[in-house]
Chains A and B, each alone.
Chain A
Amino acid sequence: MSASTTAATPWPRGADAVAAQGAGPDARRWLQLGLAAIWLLDGVLQYQSFMFTKAFGQMLAGTAAGNPAVIADPITWAAGIVEHHPVSTNASFATIQLLLGLGIAWRPAARTALAASVAWSVAVWWFGEGLGGVLSGGASPVNGAPGAVVLYALLAVLLWPAAADAVRAPFVAARPAGVPAARALWVVLWGSLAYFAVTAANRTAQGLHDMVAGMASGEPGWLSGVDRGAASVLAHHGLAASAALAVLLAVIAAGVLLPGPARRCAVVLAVIVSLLIWVVGQDLGEILAGGATDVNSGPLLILIALAYWPARAGTGSPVPVAAAGSRSDEGSVA
């Protein structure tokens, strides 16, 4: 704090206040804040007018189609409640998501909010997304498989505030449960995406073309132009494109098992593929067309990939060594 400021006010103001904030968050905290921002945006999206109508409940009921009865019946039951009480239920949903975002951002509440976000994500994955079409055969990495909302739960687990001695893990995602478990989760996630890319519905000649072309409606000109361009490239090449995507995703899945530099390449590839899928395949979550309830899987896959970015050599962790000595899991999530 400068002398002049000290003389004027008891509070650090202006640039002094910024300087007084000290060191910024570590890599895990940055990723947690990214997750918090996405939850916050989801909460805001859930407040859109469409969600307060009966049509929202009917949309939820539609996710039951193709699922086994044991999964579908509870979806239909829950959708009926939403359809009959659209205002109160949706206002609750939106507020819960808003609070999850704010809770993760508020350090003392971050642990509770992350735990709550896991429970909420799993519930929405079932009752709101019909398990992301995983069991109905409609899942595709391009349209958000295995269900965007379950990725929130996965991120909450990977970014869980672990004990202080875990900060020496080779990447952020390994801190809560260790390297083998984190690598297994990566392989399962990206491996399943590779599998979904070549399921029967996705390897037809026009499958990908129809999916991308069908999203152009209602989007701004530049985005519908991107859709039309991508659709024309994919026309009648669905099988080849799906196979290429599956190979790419399989390479990413295996990349986490490789040594440092190759793992970095796999993470970079994962970020690029996720970004492409989000823009071309998911139209930025279709937010600009109205009616989107979340940002879809693209940004979450990017955050997951960044959680596997290898730490700097020598430190074994992106966290300064000094911080490792403090009990960062007590009252703080940094």
Chain B
Amino acid sequence: MTVPAWLLDIFAAIMLAVAAVSALRLAAARPWQRGGPGADADIDLAHLLMGIAMAGMLTASLTTLPDGAWEAVFAVTTAWFAWRVARDVRGRGASALAGGHHAPHLVHSAAMLYMFGAVAAPMGTVAEPAMAGMGGAAGGMSTLRFPTIALVFALLLAGYAVWDLDQVASRIQRTGERRSTRSGLRLSDAGVPALAGPGNPVGGLAAATGTGMLPGGHAAAPGDSAAVPDDSGARPGQAGVAGIRDRVLAPDVATGCRIAMGVTMAFMLVLMI
């Protein structure tokens, strides 16, 4: 009685994709540089670790570290995000416990810690390495102790996934509204009307970021000469690279990773109840 291997492989592939995107975000954010946009590097790092760990849990051939090592890793991330949530609560009150920026990551980390810590011997197998592929090469299925906690985590993860999806859609909708507001005619420095749209590297990039800001924090206001790449001495193509970097660092990308991980984690928890 097992889940088809191809289904587990699909979820594992999604987790590897999440890990790859998170690694890309870490590289793009350059958190090791002072003043770089690395404020959420801890989140990307946690996503990277969770993606690799979950891929290994889903497919035995993708196992990287022993369970004990992963348990230690997620004990650290859980403690870290607990501290971050505590800081959020001090700053924003108790509402940060449910809707704060770091609360979902605390839940994700704690769920990972629980999965590695509470896993019992696979059913129908002997000495199957815990979590080394949930389907189990011998057809066994890992189960979890204290299954009520697994259900609570699954409910929380499902809740956060739909909430995140709603918020992403809401942000995209607002971005679209702002973009259409800015898509009117504007005057360049030379007094030539220019369209702020995808065809214009300045307006298009600003619109793509959805914030009205350009890389480096310059506001893409009409007539803002500092916002024009040629004025700042940038080589052709640099704006495009910066645009890609900004897209990789977009918060919605991290949220998308979180949604994928939340659904996959809920799937794994339910399978191991």
Contact = CB atoms under 8 A, between A and B. Distances in A.
Contacts of A48: 3, 270-271
A45 B169 contact: no
Given A9-B217, A10-B209, A11-B246, A18 B155 contact: no
Contacts of B36: 8
Interface stretch (A58-66, A114-122, A282-290): A282-290
B251 A220 contact: no
A62 B137 CA distance: 33
A25 interface: yes
Contacts of A36: 162, 165
B3 A17 contact: no
A10 B271 contact: no
Given A13-B40, A44-B267, A107 B170 contact: yes
Nearest to A13: B39
Contacts of A106: 165-166, 169
Contact of A41 (B39, B141, B148, B155): B155
A70 interface: no
Given A8-B39, A13-B37, A37 B154 contact: no
A287 B217 contact: no
Contacts, number: 147
A5 B170 contact: no
B166 A29 contact: yes
Contacts of B188: none
B77 to A, nearest CB: 17
Give the secondary structure class of B's interface.
helix
Interface string A67-92: 00000000000000000000100010
A11 B263 contact: no
Interface stretch (A49-57, A247-255, A304-312): A49-57
B122 to A, nearest CB: 12
Contact of B266 (A5, A33, A40, A332): A40
A182 interface: no
Contact of A14 (B39, B209, B217): B39
Nearest to A91: B7
B177 to A, nearest CB: 10
Contacts of A98: 263
B148 A220 contact: yes
Contacts of B250: 11
A10 B247 CA distance: 10
Interface string A224-250: 000000000000000000000000000
A227 to B, nearest CB: 14
A270 B152 CA distance: 23
Interface string A1-41: 10001111111111101101110110001000100111011
B251 A17 contact: yes
B249 A11 contact: yes
Contacts of A284: 151
B246 A33 contact: no
B199 interface: no
B147 A49 contact: no
Given A44-B263, A107-B173, A33 B163 contact: yes
Nearest to A332: B173
Contact of A44 (B40, B154, B213): B154
B170 A37 contact: no
Contact of B1 (A15, A24, A49, A223): A49
Nearest to B214: A10
B3 A49 contact: yes
B148 A288 contact: yes
A35 to B, nearest CB: 9
B40 A14 contact: yes
Contacts of A331: 173
Contact of B217 (A8, A22, A220): A8
B67 to A, nearest CB: 21
Nearest to A45: B270
A10 B173 CA distance: 18
Contacts of B37: 8-9, 11, 13
Given A10-B209, A288-B151, A5 B169 contact: no
B101 A17 contact: yes
A12 B249 CA distance: 10
Interface string B30-60: 0000011101100000000000000000000
B69 to A, nearest CB: 27
Chain A CB within 10 Å — which of B99, B146, B147 has the most? B147
Chain A CB within 10 Å — which of B148, B158, B163, B271 has the most? B158
B229 to A, nearest CB: 14
Interface in B135-167: 141, 146-148, 151, 154-155, 158-159, 161-163, 165-167
A15 to B, nearest CB: 5
A189 interface: no
13 contacts: A11-B37, A11-B249, A15-B100, A18-B99, A45-B270, A48-B3, A48-B271, A50-B1, A53-B1, A105-B166, A220-B146, A284-B151, A287-B273
Sorted nearest first, the 5 A-B pairs with minimum C-beta distance are A9-B37, A105-B162, A105-B165, A107-B169, A10-B213
Given A25-B166, A105-B162, 10 more contacts: A8-B37, A10-B211, A10-B213, A15-B100, A41-B155, A44-B266, A44-B270, A53-B1, A101-B158, A106-B166
